[in-house]
A and B are shown apart, each in its own frame.
Chain A
């Protein structure tokens, strides 16, 4: 063990909140480049689904195994990838898309947070807070890529 701190970020100046922003950005942009290179002629919808998976993947990989939600996401992504390769269907992984019926709010939350269904209430609340933080950072990252990546560039 190198140190007792849990900050994987080698740059000490970057503010510390969970996975390093730079790590997430790097992974996501790398995935975007891959999508661009490997599927130039695919449909917009298929590409969009791949990008969405890449977004959740880079979130989850950067958070690593320290969080239940990231472990659940990683498992789900790998599982769906294996299914896709076998069945030839493409399906967006990592995002539950079920219509909400009458459920208790806690159960609803369990369905929204990856890995939530197996958790006790206390862990659910903790994981939710972390998941929300990482998810909103991911949204900000994607927004900044969109803002800086117009067709004419800046």
Chain B
């Protein structure tokens, strides 16, 4: 499954232009930059993809981590009053 092949051949809605891909890459780069993981300069496609993969992996790890902590919290206390506090805090 080569990405280079699919870039030039497959398209679900017409020809995919390099410009489209560039735009999507920039969007990814800016997302990474917001998360302080990417650089401002125009990095190579491979670098952006690698950084994106690391970012996703780290997000998955955070979800695992937070799930464990939430599990411990559930064990220690009920959730209902915390629910209300959390919803309130989300609004502010």
Contact = CB atoms under 8 A, between A and B. Distances in A.
B66 A143 contact: yes
A112 B81 contact: no
Contacts, number: 161
Given A120-B11, A128-B52, A55 B63 contact: yes
Contact of A149 (B1, B24, B63, B73): B73
Nearest to A111: B53
Question: Interface size bucket, B side?
Answer: 35 or more
Given A120-B6, A144-B90, A105 B53 contact: yes
A142 interface: yes
Given A22-B90, A33-B83, A126-B24, A51 B67 contact: yes
A142 B66 contact: yes
B79 A149 contact: yes
Interface string A77-116: 0000000000000000001000010001111111011000
Contacts of B72: 44
Interface of B: 1-3, 6-7, 10-12, 16, 20-21, 24-25, 27-28, 31, 35, 46, 49-50, 52-53, 55-57, 59-60, 62-64, 66-83, 85-87, 89-90
Interface of A: 21-22, 25-26, 29, 32-33, 35-36, 44, 47-49, 51-52, 55-56, 95, 100, 104-110, 112-113, 117, 120-123, 125-126, 128-129, 131-133, 135-136, 138-139, 141-146, 148-151, 153-154
